[in-house]
Amino acid sequence: MNFLFTDEEEQLRATVRAFLLEHFTEEVRAENMAGKRGEGWGPAIRKFFDTVNDKRWFAWSWPTEFGGGGGNRTAQFVIEEEFYRYTGITLGGGTGAPAILSFGTEAQKKEFVPGAIKREIIFCQGYSEPGCGTDLAGIRCRAKRVGDKYIITGQKIYTTNAQNATHIFLMCRTDPDSVRHRGLSILLVPMGMPGMTVRPLWTVQNDPPAPFGTTYGEERTNEVFFDDVEVPASCLLGEEGGGWEVARRGLNLDRVGAWRYLISVMRDEDIVNWLHGDGELQDSLREDAQVRDKVAEMWTEAEVCRLMTMRSISIEQHGGKFTYEGSAEKVFAPEHSVRTTEAISQILGPYAQLMQGSPDAIEKGVFAHNILGAYQSTINHGSVQVMRDQVARIGLGLPRAAK
Q: Which domain holds residue 25?
A: 7-92
Structural domain tally of the chain? 3
Query: Do residues 74 and 127 both lie within one domain?
Result: no
Same domain, 160 and 227: yes
User: Within a domain: residue 112?
Assistant: no
If asked whether residues 230 and 265 sit together in one domain, one would say no
Residues 260 and 391 in one domain: yes
CATH code of the domain covering residue 234: 2.40.110.10
**Over its length of 403 residues, how does the chain's per-residue pLDDT go in tens digits?**
566 788 999 999 999 999 999 999 999 999 988 887 777 788 999 999 999 999 999 888 888 888 888 888 889 889 999 999 999 888 876 677 888 988 889 999 999 999 888 888 989 989 888 887 666 777 899 999 999 999 999 999 999 889 889 999 999 999 887 777 788 999 999 999 999 999 999 989 888 998 988 888 888 899 999 999 999 999 999 888 888 888 877 666 666 677 778 888 899 999 999 999 999 999 999 999 999 999 999 999 999 988 888 888 888 777 777 777 878 888 888 899 999 999 999 999 999 999 999 999 999 999 999 999 888 877 777 778 878 887 888 888 888 777 6
Which CATH number covers residue 302?
1.20.140.10
Within this chain, do residues 388 and 260 fall inside the same structural domain, yes or no? yes
Residue at which a domain ends, from 40, 71, 92: 92
pTM: 0.85
Q: Does some domain include residue 19?
A: yes
281 and 351 together in one domain: yes
Omega cis (within 30) before 194: no
The reply to whether 81 falls in a domain is yes
Do 236 and 344 sit in the same domain of this protein?
no
174 phi, psi to nearest 5 deg: -95, -15
Residue 118 domain flag: no
Looking at the structure, do residues 161 and 200 belong to the same domain, yes or no?
yes
Last residue of a domain, one of 213, 242, 271: 242
- Domain boundary among the residues 242, 270, 304 is at 242
In a domain, 97, yes or no: no
Same domain, 130 and 232: yes
Quick one: 50 and 161 in the same domain? no
Residues 80 and 127 in one domain: no
What CATH number is attached to the domain comprising 81?
1.10.540.10
**325 shares its domain with 261:** yes
